[in-house]
Amino acid sequence: LIHAVTHIEFNAINLALDALYRFQHMPRDFYIDWLQVAAEEAHHFSLLRQRLEKMGYHYGDMPAHNGLWEMTVATDHDVLTRMALVPRVLEARGLDVTPGMMERLKKVDDQETVDILTLILRDEIGHVAIGSRWHG
């Protein structure tokens, strides 16, 4: 579970940076917002990678899906499509499932990971809001 979430955060860094490069001629605030998202996603990745290492694993030790990057390719043609499907659907799904993951982790006394997910959940709310802002 932790490896899967770490992989999602890794892809989220690339998604945010892709938006900066791919969607040129946007207002300056668009780039400021997505740089902030990339920085927060990098922080999430770092925290989760450290957590994996503390548990004796490394990022990349386990297979992971490529769904987020596939969505990058599927939405590379239009900024409104990207904003609708990435932050407003995929990141919003994360908001829906994270509390359940936190409950499962509490049951196995993994408060350290719960604390990381609490921070991620807070930041992801902001990412959904940024996507909504740029969706229109």
User: How much is the pLDDT for 89?
Assistant: 86
pLDDT of 87 above 90? no
Domains of the chain, CATH where assigned: 2-135 (1.20.1260.10)
First-last CA distance in the chain: 34
Name residue 52's amino acid: L
Tokens representing 86 are 């990435």
pTM (predicted TM-score): 0.94
Tokens representing 130 are 């940024």
Q: pLDDT (tens digit, 9 = 90+) per residue, 89-130? A: 888 888 999 999 999 999 999 999 999 999 999 999 999 999
User: How much is the pLDDT for 90?
Assistant: 86
